[in-house]
Amino acid sequence: MRSAAYSYRKFFKYPLKIWKIGKGEKSLVFSKGIEIRQIIVAVLIFGLFFLFRGSINQLLPTALQLAFYAVLPWMIAGAICRSKLDGKRLDRFFIGYFQYLYNKRFSYSSHKPVYQLQMKKAQSYERFN
């Protein structure tokens, strides 16, 4: 029995985080860490806001624009990353969803894919003795 074997399941269960930026005394340390996926989602939301900056800037006063473009995408990204979709993390949900879209035309029999057109053919059965 391999009791000394290491299980990587615990390691991959947790998201990747940035704990420290820089070296020495001038380094910026994050006590809870910043998730990489939250950074990516925040940048995407910021890009979406930036596309509509003309109409957003007309509605908001100048003092609130910095807070709108910097703080709001980060807060929305944090809420999105903490939410569970079908009991899964955001990235795992979309990976599974796109795999489903790619593989949904197949049914599997004996671990081999059966194309959907084959499934629609008329089937005949032999009489059992």
Domains of the chain, residue spans: 9-119
Instruction: For residue 118, give the nearest of 110, 106, 102 by alpha carbon.
Output: 106
Neighbouring-strand partners of residue 109: 112
Which of 32, 46, 109, 98 minimizes the C-alpha distance to 75? 46
64, 57 in Cβ contact below 8 A? no
Check residues 61 and 3 and name the one with the higher pLDDT.
61
Q: How confident is the model at residue 46 (pLDDT cuts 50, 70, 90)?
A: very high
Torsional class of 30: left (φ above 0), alpha (ψ -120 to 50), beta (otherwise): beta
What is the Cα–Cα distance from 100 to 94, expressed in whole angstroms? Answer: 10
The 10s digit of each residue's pLDDT in 101-128 is: 887 766 777 777 776 676 677 877 888 8
The owner of tokens 């995408």 is 73
DSSP state of 59: H
Contact 6, 46 (CB under 8 A): no
pLDDT-above-90 percentage for the chain: 12
The pLDDT value recorded for residue 57 is 86
Q: What is the mean pLDDT of residues 3-25?
A: 75
The whole-number pLDDT of residue 44 equals 93
Q: Is the per-residue pLDDT at 43 higher than 90?
A: yes
- How would residue 9 be classed by pLDDT, with cut points 50, 70 and 90? low
pLDDT of residue 48 exceeding 90? yes
Residue 26 pLDDT class (50, 70, 90 cuts): confident
Tokens standing for residue 83 = 């939410």
